[in-house]
Structure 1
């Protein structure tokens, strides 16, 4: 149902970071001296057995899900398959998965979004174990190319965590979480970029303080939908090809691969151009007076295709307003946001303990 990884550490209190992304929900917390990462695909599929069975179709469908070990919930008599199982069922029936999130925020077109997110969060993070648990979750920075309500999204998610028993609930922007995860040795100074399914989140931080942060309404889903449209394929087929371990932006041997590469190029140019424009429009008195080079750290599943870092390095090597020392992936690109949120929560517990 969920994937997990471990990194050794020690702590005295439960601190947990939860990254609620459009593509995946992931969390990081300490268990037995190690940071444990867990993730689940942020998707669901409405299973309607009556379309292909008669009589006791719903009972049969639910029994089938139980026997297969699939993760599901029943809402108003309708079965909803969750997580990676939803992806499998959607492919089986040549349909698209449904997303409780869209472009980085709760999907207003899906009335069960809150319920689905709550169930998926419960799968990876569980319920609170103590009133002293410290939880950090992320939200997008304010978008500069779209108009949607981050505040509504933030309050709804806070309510989801409250219903799971958490009391000490805190929020951080996604890009800053990448900085907290990866740039402690650089005094939390540099550029954090999170390339997710629904959005791209970018922050320029100096000593842990955002100089500016922004989000863009294009991400992996935008690539998938446009590539699918121009190749007459479903989004799921494009996503599956893109997520293959050997896929590279330089390997455009067929129509789908070429389409994916074209839209990746468009996305990367768009991100770099928007950073330059925002930097130029920021008053000089709000920009740090520093000359040293700083790193760009990249996270998110959309960044995992071969050639991504090389191309971003090329685009930021000339005429970029901030001197860059290197462009690199986070140590755990899929979990960097959750890891940064965990470290923020851990810092909070340490402060509470007077450390």
Structure 2
């Protein structure tokens, strides 16, 4: 569905697993999302006609006369499941996938599909970028610049925003944007401590949703794509395990949470520039990998056991975990208009 052109700006969450846009129409926030993935299927006139009738977005690719059909976004996992193959991913570990030659082209296609009906010349777009992994000085310049270039090619005006800070802007207006925002994504877990809307400390942890999927795939022999679907549809933490897959997922979820908690404790214990807050601050959890039932309770339990050095008023889930980063990016964009 295309909206009327009345959104003053767009918030864009460029995630490893999903791309989400946030726009505002009158007083309402509206969201669109697509899997950040694609799959290649054999070309035929029948297949192309069927996709067109069903309204499935696709691109016909020709290589030395050999045609194939690329299906990007949400439908890619269904086709991958039918073909018993993995989806191809434009991004990995929070940034552009260097092993995927079509990364920028597919990213542009997905963003173009998501912003159809919204774009106009010079439309402000605030887009999420990850923080460097804890203990590493990873260069994120190429990733950030490539997304900016894609948005300029779509005639938009791009501005980057730290992913964890976007979560703060989405969820912590009531504390004047002071607190900790954490985004549990597919490639990275992004963390940001903000004080009065100023990012004080930001970092990422590389054990995230994709790590859980690939680890569980190695143990069970299932495709990562199918594990992701099972994880999102029926898994819950510390439940009664009905099968081996759920047991394996619980093990790797626990490992991910422990890695993030350890990273949080070390980063905050060793930071020298943390201001004196005066009172405990909230911590808000977001992202697709934080969605299983029981996640918040398990995370809070392990965090308390770690003797976390910063006083917290609460640990809570974002109102809409999958949309929080995109909404926060939009909030930041609207504040600058």
| Shorter-chain TM-score tier | over 0.9
Structure 1 unaligned residues grouped into runs of 5+? 5-11, 50-57, 350-355
1:9 corresponds in structure 2 to none
Runs of 4+ more than 4 Å apart: 145-148
- 1:147 CA drift (Å): 6.7
Q: Within 5 Å, give how 1:1-355 maps onto structure 2.
A: 14-49=8-43, 58-76=44-62, 77-126=67-116, 129-144=119-134, 148-167=138-157, 169-245=158-234, 247-283=236-272, 286-318=273-305, 319-349=307-337
- 1:326 CA drift (Å): 1.1
Asked if structure 2 preserves the Cα contact closer than 8 Å seen for 1:26 and 1:40, the reply is yes
Asked if structure 1 preserves the Cα contact closer than 8 Å seen for 2:127 and 2:160, the reply is yes
Helix, strand or coil at the partner of 1:276: helix
Helix, strand or coil at the partner of 2:293: coil
Helix, strand or coil at the partner of 1:215: strand
1:199-232 Cα distance to aligned partner (Å, 9 max, x none): 1000111111112100122211100110111111
For 1:340 and 1:292, how far apart are their aligned partners in 2? Answer: 24
TM-score normalised by L of structure 2 = 0.93
For 2:209 and 2:277, how far apart are their aligned partners in 1? Answer: 33
Over 3 Å counting, the alpha-carbon distance change for 1:153 and 1:33 in structure 2 is same
1:161-187 Cα distance to aligned partner (Å, 9 max, x none): 0010013x2111100000000001101
For 1:132 and 1:18, how far apart are their aligned partners in 2? Answer: 15
- 1:251 CA drift (Å): 3.1
For 1:210 and 1:251, how far apart are their aligned partners in 2? Answer: 40
Over 3 Å counting, the alpha-carbon distance change for 1:263 and 1:15 in structure 2 is same
- 1:32 CA drift (Å): 3.7
Q: Kindly tell me the number of residue pairs found equivalent between the two proteins.
A: 330
For 2:185 and 2:7, how far apart are their aligned partners in 1? Answer: 30
Helix, strand or coil at the partner of 1:341: helix
Over 3 Å counting, the alpha-carbon distance change for 1:131 and 1:71 in structure 2 is closer
TM-score normalised by L of structure 1 = 0.88
Asked if structure 1 preserves the Cα contact closer than 8 Å seen for 2:184 and 2:288, the reply is yes
Over 3 Å counting, the alpha-carbon distance change for 1:233 and 1:147 in structure 2 is farther
For 1:269 and 1:287, how far apart are their aligned partners in 2? Answer: 23
Structure 2 unaligned residues grouped into runs of 5+? none
